[in-house]
Amino acid sequence: MFAKCTSIAEIKEQISEAKSIQNQYKMSLFGHKIPPKDLAFTNKVTRGTGQHKSKTIQADAVRQLELEGRNVEPGEKIHYVISDYTRKISHRVIPIEFAKKYDAKKYSELLDQCCKSILEPFEN
């Protein structure tokens, strides 16, 4: 939408429409109308199966893949969805292969942060 604008004034005129689109996506998130595969993160892991010492979300995804019998090698890409970001240690994310639901609240927060970073400079 903003790519079609030819001036800052035109962008400012489109902000309310952009916020409307943002709200439509939030409603889709909370209605679980977005397929989990469309929300997947992709990371190239630096440590493989059994090599993680930290409790990062990437390590969580690798551990879950390991529990399902899949070996992950350093440098391999993994794909996961945030499933319950309120959890502190495990199952905050789920490998895309097993994802059936997602944490709509966390994705909504990420959408808000992204939109704010784009819109805020034009709202002053």
Confidence of residue 124 (pLDDT cuts 50, 70, 90): confident
Higher-confidence residue of 106 and 53: namely 106
- pLDDT tens by residue, 16-49: 999 999 999 999 999 999 999 999 999 998 876 5
Domains of the chain, by residue range, sit at 2-122
pTM of the model: 0.86
Mean pLDDT of 65-83: 91
Q: Which of 24, 21, 13, 23 is nearest to 123 (CA)?
A: 13
Q: Which of 5, 8, 25, 13 is nearest to 112 (CA)?
A: 25
The CATH superfamily label for domain 2-122 reads: B family DNA polymerase, thumb domain (1.10.132.60)
- pLDDT tens by residue, 85-104: 988 777 899 999 999 999 99
